Amino acid sequence: MHRCHDQVNLMYAEVPEDYEALGDSHQPAGVGPGQEGNNTGKNPLPWSWSSYRKESACDSELRFIQPHVAQDRLGRWRIIVQTAEFPQRVAIDVCRRVDDVCKVFTDCGRKSRCVQRYSYQPLISLDQDKRQVGQCPTMAIFRFPTSCVCHVEVDKSSQILAKSNRRSSVKAIRRP
């Protein structure tokens, strides 16, 4: 690993273990307090979602992990580089009850269910099957659970009707 230090250093990006930055109260980069959604700083928005009472539709557990072995996006097992100098953290958000009814839609007459979403995360790793003495790590892409979302049944007939109405009104506007 010592021989590969410079190469690993170029690939490494520290992920801070900061739960607050992952939550609802986090502001996008370049946005100051009271300027949510407006990074010019001139006209702060008159309201913020943070002032509303909110509840997640699906229960999930947010945590950081430091994987040591994982399957890459192609299904190959790889050894994740984890050292004191290069700790690799991944923020994950795991549904507590996949396929359960969403909490906020239990009495609205529509079907709903909690669904696990995933995203891809690059990590510095070694190919487990091709381990060689002196092999330097490379970057590989890994799939991790990143959110728990609520899918709600939508009435297809009303969507088709709405699209049809929009097309009719667009055609009517185009006519001289």
Q: Which CATH class is domain 2-23+52-174?
A: mainly beta
Residue 175's pLDDT band (boundaries 50, 70, 90)?
Answer: very low
User: Residue 63 carries which DSSP code?
Assistant: E
Overall size of the chain counted in residues: 176
| pLDDT at residue 51, as a whole number | 60
Provide the residue ranges of all domains of the chain, joining segments of one domain with +.
2-23+52-174
| pLDDT at residue 3, as a whole number | 82
Residue 126's pLDDT band (boundaries 50, 70, 90)?
Answer: very high
Please, what sign has the CA dihedral across residues 71, 137, 63, 51?
Answer: negative
Beta-bridged to residue 118, according to DSSP, are 145
- Residue 138: name the closest of 152, 123, 149 by CA: 123
pLDDT in tens, 11-38: 998 888 777 776 654 444 444 444 444 4
For residue 168, pLDDT beyond 90? no
pLDDT in tens, 85-109: 999 999 999 999 999 999 876 666 6
Regarding beta strands 77-80 and 90-95, do their DSSP bridges make them parallel or antiparallel, or are they unpaired? unpaired
| pLDDT at residue 104, as a whole number | 74
Q: Where are the alpha helices (DSSP H) in the chain?
A: 5-11, 19-22, 156-174
Residue 153's pLDDT band (boundaries 50, 70, 90)?
Answer: confident
